Amino acid sequence: MATTPTRLADYSDLDLDFIPHPVTGDVVKKTGPDAVIRSIRNLVLTNFYDRPFHSNIGSSASKLLFENVSNMTARLLEQVIAEVITNFEPRASVLAVRANVSADDNGYDVKILIGINNRPEPFAVTIFLERIR
């Protein structure tokens, strides 16, 4: 008896840039690893109380950007980012988070290595965090 291969579910989210599809005019959706990577980027950049009725979703990463640019703050950023991904993104698991100080640019180069649940290979998310105000 032959077994049929099972298809793994693919993840999809709306593209929050709200760029219309060139033909249909509908909002384009992100699929696969792009959807999970965009979600992680949004979680890291979201402050607590930014989402109505979900005040517990967010991270204190932007608050840490107003501290002195140092290796100690970079280690705290790594912990905060790993925590928010672990708590609020069930589609991914954190393999490594590395924040490097960029003193000339007054910010941090953050590289997040994640494993997506239905993919065998790891993916890297790169974000440059700097204070805006």
The model's pLDDT over 41-83, given as tens digits with 9 standing for 90+, comes to 999 998 888 888 988 888 989 899 998 899 999 999 999 999 9
| Residue 7, in any domain of the structure | no
| Residue 6, in any domain of the structure | no
CATH code of the domain in which 103 resides? 3.10.450.40
Segments forming the whole domain that contains residue 120 = 12-130
pLDDT digits over 111-122, tens only?
Answer: 999 999 888 899
pTM for this predicted structure: 0.82
| Residue 35, in any domain of the structure | yes
| Residue 61, in any domain of the structure | yes
| Residue 51, in any domain of the structure | yes
Q: What's the burial of 120, exposed, middle or buried (CB within 10 Å: 0-12/13-18/19+)? A: exposed
Q: What is the pLDDT of residue 19?
A: 81
| Residue 52, in any domain of the structure | yes
Q: What is the pLDDT of residue 131?
A: 86
Angle (CA) 9-50-129 rounded to 5° is 80
Q: Structurally, how many domains does the chain consist of?
A: 1
d(CA 69, CA 92): 29
